[in-house]
A and B are shown apart, each in its own frame.
Chain A
Amino acid sequence: MQRIFHTPEGVRDIIGEECAQKQLLQEKLRDVFRRYGCHEIETPTFEFFEVFGNEVGTIPSRELYKFFDREGNTLVLRPDFTPSVSRACASYFDPAGSPVSLFYTGKTFINHSSLRGQLKETTQIGVERFGDASADADAELLAMTVECLLASGLTEFQVSVGEVNYFKSLVAEAGLDEETVQELRELISQKNEFGVETLMREKKLPIHQTDAFTALPTLYGGRDVLDKARSITENEVALKAVERLQQIYDILSLYGYEKYISFDFGMLSKYRYYTGIIFHAYTYQTGEPLIKGGRYDQLLRHFGTPAPSVGFGIVIETLLLALSRQKLLQPLKDETEEILYAPGERAEAIRKAMELRSAGKPVRLTLKKEGPAR
Chain B
Amino acid sequence: MRYLTFALTKGRLASKTLDLLGKIGITCEEMQDKNTRRLIFVNEELKLRFFLAKGPDVPTYVEYGAADIGVVGKDTLLEEGRKLYEVLDLGFGACRMCVCGPESARELLNTNQLLRVATKYPNIAREYFFNQRHQTVELIKLNGSIELAPIVGLSEVIVDIVETGSTLKENGLMVLEEVCPLSARMVVNQVSMKMEDERIRELIRKLRASL
Contact surface of A with B, Cβ cutoff 8 Å? 116-117, 156, 158, 160, 190-195, 217-218, 220-221, 262, 264, 282-289
Name which residue of chain B comes closest to A270, CB basis: B83
Smallest Cβ-Cβ distance to A118: which chain B residue: B64
Chain A residues with CB below 8 A from B89, complex form: 194
Complexed CA–CA distance, A160 and B194 (Å): 8
Task: Return A191 CB to nearest CB of chain B, in Å.
Answer: 4
Question: Which residues does chain A contribute within 8 Å of B193, judged by CB atoms?
Answer: 191
Chain B: interface secondary structure? mixed
Can you sample 29 A-B contacts with CB below 8 Å? A116-B60, A117-B64, A156-B195, A158-B194, A160-B194, A190-B84, A190-B85, A190-B86, A191-B86, A192-B85, A193-B87, A195-B86, A217-B87, A218-B201, A220-B194, A262-B194, A264-B194, A283-B191, A283-B195, A284-B195, A286-B65, A286-B191, A287-B63, A287-B66, A287-B190, A288-B64, A288-B83, A288-B190, A289-B190
**B residues 168-211 with Cβ under 8 Å of A?**
188-191, 193-195, 197, 201
List chain B residues, Cβ under 8 A from A289: 190-191
Interface presence of B12 (CB below 8 A):
no
Q: How far is the CA of A82 from the CA of B192 in the complex (A)?
A: 27
Please give me the residue from chain B that is nearest to A156 by CB atom.
Answer: B195
Report the separation of the CA atoms of residues A156 and B87 in the bound assembly, to the nearest whole angstrom.
Answer: 25
CB distance from A71 to the nearest CB of B (A): 34
B2 within 8 A of A: yes
List the B side residues contacting A160 at CB < 8 Å. Answer: 194
Find chain B residues with CB under 8 A from A285 CB. Answer: 65
Residues of B participating in the A interface, judged by any CB pair closer than 8 Å? 2, 60, 63-66, 83-89, 188-191, 193-195, 197, 201
Whether the Cβ atoms of A282 and B87 lie closer than 8 Å is no
A221 contact set on B, CB distance < 8 A:
197
A218 CB contacts on chain B under 8 angstroms: 201
Contacts of B66 in A (CB 8 A): 287
Candidates B2, B60, B88, B188; contact of A284 at CB < 8 Å: B2
CA A284 to CA B2, docked complex, whole Å: 10
A287 touches B86 (CB 8 A): no
A116 to B190, CA, bound (A): 17
B contact residues around A191 at 8 Å (CB): 85-87, 188, 193
A192-B64 contact, Cβ under 8 Å, with A158-B194, A283-B195, A289-B191: no
Residue among B2, B66, B195 having the largest count of chain A Cβ atoms under 10 Å: B195
Nearest CB in chain B: distance from A225 CB, A: 11
Contact A282 B88 (CB under 8 A): no
**Bound complex: CA of A262 vs CA of B2, how far in Å?**
21
Residue contact B84 to A282, C-beta cutoff 8 Å: no
Q: Which residue of A lies closest to B65 (CB)?
A: A287
Instruction: State in angstroms the CA–CA spacing of A139 and B84 once bound together.
Output: 28
Q: How far is the CA of A288 from the CA of B193 in the complex (A)?
A: 11
Residues of chain B within 8 A of A286, CB atoms compared: 65, 191
Contact B191 A282 (CB under 8 A): yes
Minimum C-beta distance from A220 to chain B (A): 8
When distances are taken between beta carbons in the complex, the residues of chain A under 8 Å from B60 are 116
Indicate if the CB atoms of A194 and B85 lie closer than 8 Å. no
Q: Which residues of A contact B189 (CB under 8 A)?
A: 287
CA distance A285 to B64 in the complex (A): 9
Write the chain B residue with the least CB distance to A283. Answer: B195
Residue of A nearest to B187 (CB): A190
* Smallest CB separation, A141 vs chain B (Å): 19
Taking CB as reference atom, which chain A residue is nearest B85?
A: A191
The docked-state distance in angstroms from the alpha carbon of A122 to that of B190 is 20
| Nearest 8 CB-CB pairings of A with B | A287-B65, A191-B85, A287-B64, A192-B86, A190-B86, A282-B191, A194-B89, A282-B194
- Chain A contacts of B190 at CB under 8 A? 287-289
Give the docked Cα–Cα distance between A170 and B191 (Å).
26
Chain A residues whose CB sits within 8 angstroms of the CB of B195 once the complex forms = 156, 158, 282-284
Complex interface: chain B residues within 8 A of A284 (CB): 2, 191, 195
- Chain B residue contacts of A116, Cβ below 8 A: 60
A289 and chain B: residue at smallest CB distance: B191
Q: How many Å from the CB of B200 to the closest CB on chain A? A: 10
Whole-angstrom CA separation of A264 from B201 in the bound complex = 14
